[in-house]
């Protein structure tokens, strides 16, 4: 189905519903309004307030006041609220899907990936988070006479700056462990996709989260971001690399921690023993999910020359079977890009590559007949290794397919980038795939899957190397970033110094002997 008008009519939403959500943003008075457009039709669906610096400070203050009591709440009680929130997200799935689709223009099956992610994340941290926050004993310098333990305190108020491409998942996937750890959260969603974060805030309240703990501020990033970074105790940012550098610099000046998931120019390596049809299916799934507006999507595919022709035929055929369009039911395969500006950027990347000698194997055109911001899934060949399409993130439904002589060349080409977010290896020998995955410089490398098996492994950390970011979400690492570890060391014999009646030489011999015993014990334990 092609949607060219009447976005509201085909959804289960009304303008009044979004207007009520916008009133959840607390401001100190009348503020200028920012229009929010749906990329489906390029028409306005609502407005949000442009928060001022004073509004940001007030939101952080409200969060900080609520956080003190929340930190004293037993972690088991916090986990129950997080679990209930996950259940509510599942119960309100259709409504949330409609909001995500209306704001982003993505097709329903791609929006569903976001909605099912949140309950899974809630269940993981509700089940596993409390153990990660429990005091732990550590080895002490003099066994029996001294002890050491580590406790974990929440950092305080966590700021979350979330992007437009996955506004449901990325507004809450970091907030969930932050809240469980006893923090408050102030979320700044992208101004193009604010309503889904507001709807999630409503569900958090319904789940029993105390008032004030999850604040939402709205506005353009350049206007709102600095005040947020200057007032919170930790900052999570997901977005572009250049903006990420600015965020990291400001966080550094404020001496607060930050985690950043930034851009990627992700490689996909197809080895000489790969099943061509399986690899082609994975390439299409990975490269064109959410119209390629996915930081984990493969944009460079390196194929062993013995598999190249067969792979190219298979991936072109599979791509040409995809359908473009929009429906609030399950139907079309590929949805809209987020805006006309982004469409122009994707088109410029492809046009530049073609001017440099690349060949369009399929796609390569905007599709205004489908909608104002649609672009065909595109496969390029004969690309120059130093072209923009190889070196810069396109963030659209465009992928380059390049032949390589062997696995060694594939690894070298895969690592020839400043980015290091996600990669994949395709082979019939999984042990070989895992061995080659270790050679690829990315925070996550999947074998025989483009990205989902890595993202869905919530117990394992996810993040980037190089220009793809700092820190990790998911797993124990995903909750430890939101706490300050504190060591409490105790002596049963008073201060560890030389008693007044004992010569220093005797103490020196005793300490030397004790250290030697400790080293021997450590070696025996190993």
Query: Which residues are known to be catalytic?
Result: 261, 295
User: b/e map of 335-360 (b: 16 or more CB within 10 Å)?
Assistant: bbbbbeebbeebbebbeebbeeebeb
| DSSP structure string for 31-71 | --EEEEEETTTTEEEEEEE---HHHHHHHHHHHHHHHHHHH
β pairing state of 234-238 and 359-362: unpaired
Are β-strands 398-404 and 419-420 bridged in parallel, bridged antiparallel, or unpaired? unpaired
Query: How many CA atoms are closer than 13 Å to the CA of 399, on its beta-carbon side?
Result: 33
Q: Report in angstroms the alpha-carbon separations of 168 from 244, 444, 500.
A: 20, 22, 65
DSSP one-letter code for 210: P
Report the C-alpha gap between 161 and 260 in whole angstroms: 10
Instruction: Give the whole-angstrom CA distance, residue 228 versus residue 213.
Output: 15
Give the CA distances from residue 202 to residues 31, 89, 112, 118, 209, in Å, rounded to whole numbers and listed in that order. Answer: 22, 11, 19, 15, 10
User: Over the range 258-288, which residues count as b (16 or more CB within 10 Å of their CB) and which as e?
Assistant: bbbbbbbbbbbbbbbebbbeebbebbbbbbb
Helix axes 430-437 and 407-414, enclosed angle (nearest 10): 40
- What is the torsional sign of CA 355, 283, 467, 235? positive
Angle at which helices 93-104 and 108-132 cross, to 10°: 120
Contact 133/75 with Cβ under 8 angstroms?
A: yes
- How far apart are alpha carbons 214 and 261 in whole angstroms? 21
């Amino acid at each position: 189905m092609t949607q060219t008008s009447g976005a509201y009519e085909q959804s289960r939403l009304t303008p009044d519903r979004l207007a009520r959500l916008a009133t959840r943003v607390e401001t100190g008075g009348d503020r200028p309004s920012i229009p929010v457009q749906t990329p489906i039709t390029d028409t306005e669906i609502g407005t949000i307030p442009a928060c001022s610096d004073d509004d940001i400070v007030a939101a952080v203050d409200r969060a900080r006041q609520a956080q003190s009591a929340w930190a004293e709440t037993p972690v088991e009680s916090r986990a129950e609220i997080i679990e209930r929130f996950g259940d509510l997200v599942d119960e309100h799935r259709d409504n949330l899907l409609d909001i995500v689709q209306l704001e982003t223009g993505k097709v329903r099956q791609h929006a569903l990936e976001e909605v099912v992610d949140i309950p899974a994340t809630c269940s993981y941290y509700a089940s596993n988070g409390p153990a990660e926050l429990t005091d732990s004993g550590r080895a002490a310098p003099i066994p029996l006479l001294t002890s050491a333990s580590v406790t974990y305190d929440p950092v305080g108020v966590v700021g979350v700056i979330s992007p437009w491409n996955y506004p449901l998942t990325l507004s809450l996937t970091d907030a969930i462990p932050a809240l469980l750890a006893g923090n408050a959260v102030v979320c700044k969603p992208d101004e193009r996709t604010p309503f889904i974060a507001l709807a999630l805030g409503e569900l958090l309240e319904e789940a029993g989260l105390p008032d004030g703990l999850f604040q939402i501020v709205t506005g353009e990033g350049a206007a709102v971001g600095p005040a947020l970074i200057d007032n919170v105790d930790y900052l999570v940012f997901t977005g572009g690399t250049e903006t990420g550098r600015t965020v990291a610099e400001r966080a550094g000046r404020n001496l607060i921690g930050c985690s950043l998931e930034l851009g990627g120019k992700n490689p996909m390596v197809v080895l000489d023993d790969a099943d061509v049809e399986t690899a082609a299916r994975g390439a299409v799934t990975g490269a064109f999910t959410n119209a390629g507006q996915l930081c984990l999507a493969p944009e460079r595919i390196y194929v062993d020359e013995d598999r190249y022709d067969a792979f190219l035929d298979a991936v072109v055929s599979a791509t040409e079977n995809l359908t473009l369009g929009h429906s609030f039911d399950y139907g079309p395969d590929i949805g809209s890009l987020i805006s006309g500006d982004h469409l122009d950027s994707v088109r410029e990347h492809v046009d530049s590559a073609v001017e440099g000698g690349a060949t369009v194997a399929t796609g390569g055109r905007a599709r205004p007949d489908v909608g104002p911001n649609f672009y065909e899934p595109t496969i390029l060949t004969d690309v120059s290794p130093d072209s923009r399409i190889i070196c810069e993130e396109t963030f659209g439904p465009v992928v380059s397919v390049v032949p390589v002589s062997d696995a060694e060349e594939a690894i070298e080409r895969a690592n020839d980038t400043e980015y290091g977010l996600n990669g994949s290896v395709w082979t019939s020998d999984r042990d070989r795939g895992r061995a080659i995955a270790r050679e690829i410089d990315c925070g996550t490398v999947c074998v025989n899957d483009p990205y989902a098996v890595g993202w869905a492994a919530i117990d394992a950390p996810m993040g980037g190397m190089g220009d793809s970011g700092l820190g990790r979400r998911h797993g124990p690492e995903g909750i430890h970033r939101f706490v300050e570890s504190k060591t409490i060391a105790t002596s049963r014999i008073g201060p560890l110094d030389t008693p007044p009646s004992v010569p220093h030489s005797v103490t020196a011999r005793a300490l030397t002997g004790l250290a030697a015993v400790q080293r021997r014990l450590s070696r025996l334990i190993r």
